[in-house]
A and B are shown apart, each in its own frame.
Chain A
Amino acid sequence: MSNLTLYSVSFDLVDAVLSAIGSVLPAPLNAWITNADLITGLAVLVFAALLLAASMLNTIMLIWWERKLLGRFMDRRGAMHVGYAGLLQNFADGFKLFRKTTVRPREADPLGFVSGPTAYMVTSMILFGVLPISSGWNSGALPLSLLLALAIFSFAPLFIFVSAWSSNNKYSLMGGMRSAAQMIAYEVPLLLAVVAVVIVSGSFDLTTIVYEQQNYWFWGPLFVALLVFVAGMLAEMERIPFDLPEAEAELVEGWNTEYGGMLFAFFMLADYLRALIGSILVVLLFLGGWTMPTWVPSVATSFPLAGIFWFMLKTYLVFAVFIWIRASLPRVRTDQLLRVGWNRMIPLSLLSVFLAAALVTVKCLPVFGCVPSPGI
């Protein structure tokens, strides 16, 4: 079972279906339909479809997880009525938004108004093709997958600003400006925190980074980097305490004030896609990804899809921390946010880079053991 990968699953699936069709077809068509190239091509498509379905399902489950957990923090129950414990509530909400008419203000720019949210969601979806979920459960060997992921991740301010500006609404514009300023300010410490991980692991490949952490999760020795990364991620995901681009108290709904129906659903979905990606990145970079330490009994790591199980468990727990933060902190102000970003986060992230370099030089720490590889 250990060789079970997403690609092998989709390849076997396509192979079985096409062979079954081919067996009942006459000779020339038979040979054409069981052609290896065709099977490979279709397998890639099925692979992509499976990945998309899994990411969408997880995003919707993430919304459920947030609603339930937030409800418990607030002394209420969260969604309860649609499906068991409200599991289907978000699907119902999605269908409601799907059925609604998309209203576009007369003065809004049609191109930007529609393409902004679409591009925002699509770029968020692309990221799932880059992130490895378990051994073999990725789209292939990408030696610079971390860099690619962060590059795609940082597209967002552009599309948010485009959709905010084209809405032709003062609140949207202010929200868009805040969003762009905030995301660019927090991009820098975020990347510097990642540099610390890269120094220790010696690779930009997320799969390699995960395997480097087999017995040596980076959250302990690189604790400063983890703090900077989580804070930066909160700002990138625009969640409380950094949700001021859509601060509903003063900006109505920020940059998506004018959106309704499916375009609003795009924004909502993309927000949670990015939240999921943020949690996944924390797990991959600092919490050992899908691996468990070798001292964990093999029963816990050898059952089918054990890697995915541990990976998802860690991801949801990381997101639970984000929910906890949302339930207990007020919102900061733009100038305070930017001041913290430039004056505190960047020095801290530089410190984390320095610590990582020192760690690679020292190689061994008393509690955490030794760095597995020589590093860069």
Chain B
Amino acid sequence: MSEMWINMGPQHPMTHGLWNLRVRIDGEVILDVDPEMGYLHRGIEKISEDRHYNEVITLMDRTCYVAGLSWEHLYILASEQALHIQPPERAQYLRVLCEEFQRIASHLMWYAAFVQDIGLMTPFLYGMRDRDLILDLFQSYTGARMTYEYMRVGGVRNDLPPGFTDQARKVLDWLGPRFDEYDRLCLGSDIFHKRCDNLGVLKANDCVRHGVTGPMLRSAGLRRDLRKDRPYAVYDQLDFEVARADTADVTGRYLVRMEEMRQSIRILRQVLDWLDHHPGPVLAHELPRWLGAPYAPVGREGYLLKRHYPKGVGFSSIEEPHGEAQAYVVNEGGEHPYRVKFRSPVFANVSAARQYLIGYRVADIPPIMGSVDVCVGEVDR
């Protein structure tokens, strides 16, 4: 068979989203790849300039549909810095609770999709089943399973419902042994090692050169985690370790994500204990009035526009489930952000595809791209 280009996408089971991976193949060997993004571009950054600070949160849930709360957290941290607002401590703990639960949910979603890519059907359903428990928890305190709109500039929308922490602990007790079961299903299989070892290798210096972050970087042996290196929220008060692997291949990324979920459970137990013993407000008191009032009263169109608020610039970077996400918010004194810019970790991770795909086989594309954990929503924004 001579060389040919094939389009894997935009509608293809490998993509897990809406993007196109153009592959030049000779028989089964990959000669060249060309990832094409942009099929899901919604202009979230531009739309944000036209909305009140709290209204942007709605867009953040749509930015990454498997890690909505993490992106809310990212945006909120930047805009609070830009608006000079300090959230109460309990709200910060609640945000960490959200983010770590979201990390487990996102990694479970990754696990389900990834094992599907190498042909395992059963763990796919196990992963989705266990993710549902976390979505149930989200539903109980944010009211939604996917688009939460829970965080607010200056805190969070509401406190936890009574009995939540016990329920959450039950879920964590259930999840811990499940991760060992997942490991037995995958790592216990010789075929899994045959498929995933030494596959999609991206060494540490290549990762740094291409801006690859998150589990891919940690699987290459670098102990880089913003929760440790540049602690935000209350991560400096929590005890956990950074997951790391040395192999820089698909198996390494698997191990890193599994270990991250275990560490998230460890963090969540500390957070739940803290929340049990420290009641308090969850929204800052000294908020400017327009932050709580998205619509002008009838007949007073100028009411909201005439505020003068100290200008500022906010930058935040968090360890999102997929990698290091960054946000930049410019406050020019109005009630809309003047400019919002996000840095998507997956965009960098996918852009380096040429480094870790060429030379492998067509059948290796799904496991490799699965181990990258592509979320197209945040790539295209």
Contact = CB atoms under 8 A, between A and B. Distances in A.
B42 interface: no
A171 interface: yes
Given A241-B119, A248-B13, A252-B12, A329 B191 contact: yes
A249 B186 CA distance: 17
A79 to B, nearest CB: 15
Interface stretch (B103-111, B161-169, B264-272, B357-365): B357-365
Interface string B87-125: 000000000000000000000000000011111111001
A247 B116 CA distance: 10
B6 A328 contact: no
A93 interface: no
Contact of A247 (B1, B4, B119, B121): B119
Interface string B124-153: 011001000000000000000000000000
Nearest to A177: B1
B126 A335 contact: no
Contact of A329 (B116, B120, B126): B120
Interface of A: 70, 73-76, 170-171, 173-174, 177, 240-241, 243-244, 247-252, 326-336
Contacts of A76: 125
B237 interface: no
Nearest to A243: B119
B361 A333 contact: yes
- Of the candidates A240, A241, A331, the one having the most CB atoms from chain B within 10 angstroms of its own CB is A331
Nearest to A248: B13
Interface string B351-377: 000000000011111100000000000
Interface of B: 1, 4, 6, 8, 12-14, 28, 115-122, 125-126, 129, 185-186, 189, 191-192, 194-195, 361-366
Given A170-B6, A250-B366, A334 B122 contact: no
B4 A240 contact: no
- Of the candidates B117, B120, B363, B366, the one having the most CB atoms from chain A within 10 angstroms of its own CB is B363
Of all A-B residue pairs in the complex, the 3 with the closest CB atoms, nearest first, are A331-B119, A249-B366, A74-B125
A119 B358 CA distance: 39
A49 to B, nearest CB: 37
Nearest to B363: A333
B365 A250 contact: yes
A330 B192 contact: yes
A331 B194 CA distance: 10
B207 to A, nearest CB: 25
Nearest to A244: B363
Contacts of A244: 363
A241 B203 CA distance: 30
